[in-house]
Amino acid sequence: MAIERTLILCKPDAVSRGLVGEITARIERRGYVIIAMKLMQLDGDRAREHYSEHSGKPFFNDLVDFITNGPLLAIAVEGERAIDGCRQMIGATDPLAAAPGSIRADLAQTIGRNLVHGSDSAASADRELAIFFEDKDFVSRRHDLERWITE
């Protein structure tokens, strides 16, 4: 098995629109498990750190303003190949390019309000999870996972 951890954010638009239940339900229905969850409002420094790969791009300041503008829900998710699996569920960055059935295709209209963040690699997941959580925040759900995953 290749159990991975990934960071999912229900961004402020998702929280404001009352979509955290819908989003977490989709993640759980896929069989992934939530191992930590935190409702919080990001400050600018943490937002810039989280999105550091985009620093200097034309949309960077708007992105930081948006992500710090209201509460978001940070979720640590664990599951078999959960990094790519969650990205698949979230869909392409532009909701119009996202696969039908994905969160962004089903629930979002624009790239700047695309509801959800998901880590894009193991290195990103490690880096990003450390921005939002401490090791002691994570609970073990291995028993739940291993019950339902087969090779």
Return the exposure string of 44-54: e unless at least 16 CB atoms fall within 10 Å of the residue's CB, then b. eebbbebbeee
CB of 47 to ligand DAT, least distance (A): 11
Nearest to 63 by CA among 78, 42, 79, 80: 42
CB of 109 to ligand DAT, least distance (A): 13
Q: Is 108 in the site for ligand DAT (CB under 6 A)?
A: no
Q: Is 109 in the site for ligand DAT (CB under 6 A)?
A: no
CB of 150 to ligand DAT, least distance (A): 30
Of 38-46, 112-120, 126-134, 142-150, which segment contacts ligand DAT by CB under 6 A? 112-120
Comparing CB distances to ligand DAT, the nearer of 70 and 112 is 112
Catalytic residues: 117
Q: Which helix (H) or strand (E) holds 76?
A: strand 72-80
Count of C-beta atoms within a 10 Å radius of residue 96: 11
Q: Is 26 in the site for ligand DAT (CB under 6 A)?
A: no
Q: Is 55 in the site for ligand DAT (CB under 6 A)?
A: no
CB of 62 to ligand DAT, least distance (A): 7
Residue 110 CA to chain centroid, in angstroms?
17
Q: Is 111 in the site for ligand DAT (CB under 6 A)?
A: yes
> For ligand DAT, what does the binding mask look like between residues 63 and 82, x meaning CB under 6 A?
x-------------------
How many whole angstroms separate alpha carbon 34 and alpha carbon 107? Answer: 21
Q: Is 50 in the site for ligand DAT (CB under 6 A)?
A: no
